[in-house]
Structure 1
Amino acid sequence: MRRSGPWTLAGAVLGLAVLLSGCGGGPSAEDLAAVDYAPQDPEQWTMSTPAEQGLEPDAVAELFWHAGRLESIYGLVVVKDGSLVAEDYFSLGSVDRTALLQSATKSITGALVGIAIDEGCVAGLDEPMMTYFPELAGQLDDPRKNGITIEQLLQFRAGYQWEESSDELLTALYQGFRPSSLIDVPLVRDPGTGWDYSNLSSHLLSVATSRACDTDLLDFAVEHLFGPLGIEPGDWTQDWDGYRYGMGELNLRARDMARFGQLYLDGGVADGERLIPEDWIDASWTPYTEGAWYSKVGDNFDRTAYGYQWWIIDAGPHTYFLAWGHGGQQIAVVPELDLVIAVTADPLKGDHGGGGWALEKANLNLVADFIAGLPAA
């Protein structure tokens, strides 16, 4: 679950060190020649090279050179034109190790909602949230909650506030939400009137989908998404009532994150089988809110718009779609370039101050700067 916080002195020093590592003292030609980013095992991927897929090899080498100098990054995978062209692992990372996605999980939760609507168990985008919480209907403290729809939860326009806005909500986030949280957490605006980052909204989507489809959400994901993609997920944390955290806490490998990104890039089809409706992907990548994020990330990390549990980012001449988790976990999809980049990193659990935010920004800017430097198609 993604966090940010005030820019402390320690964070500023760390951020300056990260900045200086990427300018002035950049890699030499010898440094770039020594970078080895070649994947060793195809494992269901077509393997290629950056040059064969139209990427400048030195640019890719520089991406990995900088990645190797970041403090918290675990893994970096680049897929171009459907081929695995580059990957490497750092610190605790490895090709077989799953990593905690944190809020990048939200994009997968969003996909599962779309699948559930296509399967007919979730009635649709306009369905009131309370349809799936009948036991709480008579306990609502705010009648506006009766009007919250599935779509508004997906868009973060339900009216629930960002948990970091109060110590009480942040404590609730760490202790774990449960269905009754939809009553306990107050609204800060009328549903549909504005955007607020809301972990609770994503978790309510998980609970509603699980109830609507009468299943554990991880089992549903394995049947309809992970299994057909050849993904073996790691653990996905459950709340006090046994529901999976729709807001985070899913563990996947970097390659599997890239496979999910490639599915979206391919319009929801994998190996000839349609897994996600194409119109769901289009809707997920529609910017319902512009300027959504709260603080500056980087010079090339621009236009933080929000769709259905996906971010829309501009970097240089390119627009990309981003599953973004705390610590800088990322699935970046650039349709114009037929490019997917996956990053795993230290999830920085419990760290939402300036130092952690500096590490997260460095990982986010690593990808944004690389994409910004690529020529337009």
Structure 2
Amino acid sequence: MRARLRRGASDGRALLAAAAALLALAACAVGGPSSEELAAVDYAPEAFEGFDASTPEDQGLDADAVAELYWRAGTLESIHSLTVIKNGSVVAQGYFNGTDADLSQNVQSVTKSYTGALVGIAIEEGCIAGLDEPMMTYFPELAARVTDPRKEQITIEELLQMRAGYPWLEASAEGVELLFHGFAPSNVVDVPLARDPGTGWDYSNLSSHFLAIAVARACADDDLLAYAQERLFDPLATVPSEWTQDWEGYRLGYTELFVTAQEMARFGQMYLDGGRVDGEQVVPEAWVEQSWTPYTESAWYYKVGDNFDRTAYGYQWWIIDAGPHTYRLAWGHGGQQIAVLPELGLVVVVTADPLRGQLGDEPWRLEKANLNLVADFIAGLPEPDEA
């Protein structure tokens, strides 16, 4: 895992404290909560599978900061749920806009982080040979149709890193049409590369889907859901209500896994615990470290917010800086999030309207609000030696 540059010097902490104070004053100026409003916020959690209930204070969090987080969540238009886990206990929980704990919904590109976990398991088991294995190993029926020799060089690792050369589909009308029409294995051949493999980063739904197909073909007799249920979902007490298939029956590796917020919390906690669940090693510990290593800096295309800084990318996970902290993020369209902050033992889960099929300024405004909710909260947390 990348060692974060410490801002431990006293002058650095003073600057951060001053900045935080200015941000707090700015929040008040634009209508922050009153003390009465904070006192009225109800975020009391209930224990659920994998987590006892606790309080923010008992787990070292400031209760007012948590109350403000939930007050702000209550002002958002598209949020569905917000869950805060600290030191393995649920300390705050809330559902919004007519939803409840039973909602199993499309978590959009958070699916990619689940796909990444399955690749790590598959490599550990040996059914996928390793990170350097060529992508085309898993598409032998298409080999004779490949006219671009660069595609023969693409590796499993480059797909994981989104450095395989496949384009950001949302950047063109043709790409959007393919994205919403639906993928098929033949897209390995018929979608042209935007760059040479390994030379740069492009957000690629196709790359994640090719990973899912590779695992399904190599490890699961084409049935990725059955493989995932046994290897990953069962240990996490997770039963997806749906996982959409492509035109040829392969589960979408990049989106449309339907799970609950509580199931997402267990996935995030597993990564925080080094891939373990109840002492069982589900995802290899080394894979967690590899997945959270930044292979590309400044990966995202647009500014998200003042505290949503440094959008680095690992293996199907984002690495985000917020104030003095670095957190790992499974991020889906609409603002679905599993945010993991290892240094504070923190997991924050957000579900929101998936905004399926919606692109443009208005959906992005809603998504940014949900992303910044978490980034602003994390940015305001003290560093471990100050807590």
Distance 2:31 2:82 in 1: 22
Aligned match of 1:330: 337
Conservation of the 8 A alpha-carbon contact between 1:22 and 1:66:
no
Correspondence for 2:48 among 42, 47, 57: 42
Are residues 1:281 and 2:288 paired?
A: yes
Conservation of the 8 A alpha-carbon contact between 2:78 and 2:366:
yes
Aligned match of 1:372: 379
Distance 1:346 1:316 in 2: 27
TM-aligned CA deviation for residue 115 of structure 1: 0.5
Correspondence for 1:185 among 183, 187, 191: 191
Structural RMSD (CA):
1.2
Q: List per-residue Cα deviations over 1:236-268 (Å, max 9, x = no partner).
A: 100011000000000111111111000000000
Aligned match of 2:278: 271
TM-aligned CA deviation for residue 217 of structure 1: 1.4
Aligned match of 1:225: 232
TM-aligned CA deviation for residue 64 of structure 1: 0.5
Residue 364 of structure 1 aligns with an amino acid whose one-letter code is L
Aligned match of 2:16: none
Correspondence for 1:166 among 166, 169, 172: 172
Q: How many residues align?
A: 358
Residue 239 of structure 2 aligns with an amino acid whose one-letter code is E
Which stretch shows the higher mean deviation, 138-147 or 21-30?
21-30
Give the secondary-structure state (helix, strand or coil) at the position aligned to 1:127: coil
Residue 69 of structure 1 aligns with an amino acid whose one-letter code is T
Give the secondary-structure state (helix, strand or coil) at the position aligned to 2:93: strand
Distance 1:146 1:215 in 2: 22
TM-aligned CA deviation for residue 76 of structure 1: 0.5
TM-aligned CA deviation for residue 42 of structure 1: 3.1
* Structure 1 unaligned residues grouped into runs of 5+: 1-19
Aligned match of 2:300: 293
Give the secondary-structure state (helix, strand or coil) at the position aligned to 1:91: coil
TM-aligned CA deviation for residue 215 of structure 1: 4.2
Correspondence for 1:84 among 81, 90, 104: 90
Correspondence for 1:54 among 55, 60, 70: 60
TM, length-normalised to structure 2: 0.91
Give the secondary-structure state (helix, strand or coil) at the position aligned to 1:288: coil
Distance 1:359 1:353 in 2: 11
TM-aligned CA deviation for residue 23 of structure 1: 5.2
Are residues 1:310 and 2:308 paired?
A: no
Aligned match of 1:252: 259
Residue 99 of structure 1 aligns with an amino acid whose one-letter code is Q
Distance 1:298 1:179 in 2: 37
Distance 2:49 2:178 in 1: 41
Residue 279 of structure 1 aligns with an amino acid whose one-letter code is A
Aligned match of 2:353: 346
Give the secondary-structure state (helix, strand or coil) at the position aligned to 2:251: coil
Distance 2:44 2:60 in 1: 16
Q: List per-residue Cα deviations over 1:133-154 (Å, max 9, x = no partner).
A: 0000000021100000000000
Distance 1:270 1:136 in 2: 39
TM-aligned CA deviation for residue 21 of structure 1: 8.5
Give the secondary-structure state (helix, strand or coil) at the position aligned to 2:84: strand
Conservation of the 8 A alpha-carbon contact between 2:170 and 2:176:
yes
Residue 333 of structure 1 aligns with an amino acid whose one-letter code is V
Distance 1:67 1:248 in 2: 24
Distance 1:22 1:205 in 2: 46
Distance 1:198 1:22 in 2: 40
TM-aligned CA deviation for residue 24 of structure 1: 2.2
TM-aligned CA deviation for residue 219 of structure 1: 1.2
TM-aligned CA deviation for residue 44 of structure 1: 3.5
TM-aligned CA deviation for residue 218 of structure 1: 1.4
Distance 2:181 2:167 in 1: 17
Conservation of the 8 A alpha-carbon contact between 2:50 and 2:266:
no
Give the secondary-structure state (helix, strand or coil) at the position aligned to 2:97: coil
Distance 1:229 1:41 in 2: 16
Residues 92 and 236 (structure 1), Cα distance of their counterparts in 2 relative to 1, 3 Å cut: farther
Aligned match of 2:20: none
Structure 1 residue runs of 4+, over 4 Å off?
20-23
Distance 1:261 1:142 in 2: 39
Residue 101 of structure 2 aligns with an amino acid whose one-letter code is V
Conservation of the 8 A alpha-carbon contact between 1:236 and 1:251:
yes
Distance 2:75 2:27 in 1: 8
Correspondence for 1:138 among 136, 141, 144: 144
Conservation of the 8 A alpha-carbon contact between 2:47 and 2:90:
no
Distance 1:363 1:191 in 2: 33
Correspondence for 2:34 among 28, 31, 41: 28
